[in-house]
Amino acid sequence: MFKGFGRSQRASAAAVEQPALDIKPRHIGLIMDGNGRWAQKRGLPRIAGHHAGMLAMREAIRACDDFGIECVTLYAFSTENWKRPPAEVDYLMRLPEQFFRSEIDELVRRNAQIRFIGDISRLPAHTQETVRRAIQCTQHNTGMIVNFALNYGGRMEIVAAMERYAREVMEGRATVGQLTEAACDRYLDTAGLPPLDLVIRTSGEIRLSNFLLWQAAYAELWFTDVLWPDFTREDLYQAICDYAKRKRRFGAIE
């Protein structure tokens, strides 16, 4: 199916316990931060942190699926990450291939739908090819959406949405003065995904860093000092339990 990609050795989803979660987010955004510091603490090169981060990401995806989350968006590479040393960027651009090589079988088995947001056209050709194949492998699946934000920036996404709208106006397919918030959603990269309910950021940083800016307007935010490679399904479970206790009023009063 995923030609050239190896077979997964992972335990089946059925073997993983599913906790009872009455109220849970439909869509979780994960800002996977702290890979570099995790490596530095161990005297390892930064790329070792990214490798460990990839393994933590694998576990987070499995846990989201086991917990019955409909969609998870993973901030894998931002539009600002190009400023990093070329060797680190090169490693990050090769991670998707490494990841899907070992994980695609399990993702297919889990009926997951792989999606990407961000400007894929500016990625190296080999990364684009990996992206294309990953989408293709799961295109008929109907389960959890695993959405990778790759070369993604929230502002860039909004600018691109404005461009799409302007083009439709010019072509007579949209009318000025009738644009609603719901209609704006349709011009974004996340069109069709469930509303973002919860954003989790690791490593003690308390900011969004250009992640899903429009979509996070009413999302609950959850921060932890845990560095991303150390993030476990127990941490995810804690975040979801805390989310369940939050009172979401969307600007109204009770």
Q: Which residues are catalytic?
A: 33, 81
* Binding range to ligand FPP, per CB under 6 A, among 1-9, 13-21, 27-35, 152-160: 27-35
Instruction: Candidates 2, 5, 67, 148: give the one binding ligand FPP (CB under 6 A).
Output: 148
C-alpha to C-alpha distance for 140 and 111, rounded to whole angstroms? 9
Number of residue whose CB is nearest ligand FPP: 36
CB of 38 to ligand FPP, least distance (A): 7
| Closer of 50 and 110 to ligand FPP (Cβ) | 50
CB of 41 to ligand FPP, least distance (A): 9
CB of 76 to ligand FPP, least distance (A): 4
* DSSP state letter for 32: -
CB of 253 to ligand FPP, least distance (A): 38
Restricted to residues 45-64, the positions that interact with ligand FPP (CB under 6 A) are: 50, 53-54, 57
Instruction: Candidates 8, 44, 81, 238: give the one binding ligand FPP (CB under 6 A).
Output: 81
Q: Is 149 within 8 Å of 117 (Cβ atoms)?
A: yes
| Helix ranges restricted to H, the chain | 35-41, 46-66, 86-109, 125-137, 154-170, 181-185, 233-245
* DSSP state letter for 225: S
118 is a contact residue toward ligand FPP (CB under 6 A): no
3-class DSSP string for 148-201: EEEEECHHHHHHHHHHHHHHHHHCCCCCCCCCCHHHHHCCCCCCCCCCCCEEEE
What is the CA angle 92-96-102, rounded to 5?
130
Q: Give the residues lining the site for ligand FPP (CB under 6 A).
A: 32-37, 50, 53-54, 57, 76, 81, 92, 95-96, 99, 148, 203
